[in-house]
């Protein structure tokens, strides 16, 4: 079957996708957090999510596809000294994850296959100096631009030269 969408005079037919949820990832404490940002993001290979840990700053990582044993790998990384308020995968590099935090830093993480140990050091740490950071977002068409939102301001960073651009 298909779904018919009408916009003005034209109509487009899209195949109806059937999604079967056969399993859930269990035993992960995701908790509830007080921030405006995303608490879960996915690339084509990984899902990143906030986990409930004392002091915050922890992210859980899970593979999208199950391994050869039928299980999904799940690991945690300590990436900030306080609550991670938002995260975003680069649209140009699915292993590059940006995180921002109450600790007033933005960090870029190069994530590897979950069978390998994740680095405990970010590739880049930015300190905008605007207080608690709430939002981080990669530009969808420009590979090095990263938008950062603080309580009362927004900034654009060019991660290629590690400088504020506006």
* Domains, in order of start, for the chain: 29-164 (2.130.10.10)
What residues pair up with 87 in beta bridges, in sequence order? 99
Q: For the full predicted model, state whether its pTM sits above 0.85.
A: no
With 60 as the cut, is the pLDDT of residue 152 above it?
A: yes
**85 three-class SS:** strand
C-beta separation of 48 from 42 below 8 A:
yes
With 80 as the cut, is the pLDDT of residue 147 above it?
A: yes
**DSSP E strands, the chain:** 2-7, 10-15, 40-42, 46-50, 58-63, 74-78, 84-89, 96-101, 106-110, 124-126, 133-138, 145-150, 154-158, 163-164
The residue assigned the tokens 């420009």 is 142
**Averaged pLDDT, 14-27:** 51
pLDDT, position 24: 56
pLDDT, position 6: 39
**136 three-class SS:** strand
pLDDT, position 33: 57
């Amino acid at each position: 079957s298909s779904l018919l969408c009408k916009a003005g005079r034209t109509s487009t037919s899209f195949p109806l996708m059937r999604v079967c949820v056969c399993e859930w990832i269990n035993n992960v404490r995701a908790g509830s957090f007080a921030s405006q940002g995303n608490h879960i993001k996915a690339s084509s290979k990984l899902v990143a999510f906030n986990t409930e840990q004392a002091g915050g700053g922890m992210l859980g990582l899970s593979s999208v596809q199950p391994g050869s044993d039928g299980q999904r790998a799940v690991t945690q990384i300590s990436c900030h000294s306080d609550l991670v308020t938002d995260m975003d995968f680069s649209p140009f590099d699915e292993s590059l994850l940006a995180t921002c935090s109450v600790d007033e830093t933005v960090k870029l993480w190069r994530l590897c296959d979950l069978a390998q140990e994740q680095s405990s050091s970010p590739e880049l740490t930015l300190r905008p100096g605007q207080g608690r950071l709430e939002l981080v977002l990669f530009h969808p068409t420009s590979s090095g631009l990263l938008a950062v939102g603080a309580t009362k301001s927004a900034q654009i960073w060019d991660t290629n030269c590690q400088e504020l651009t506006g």
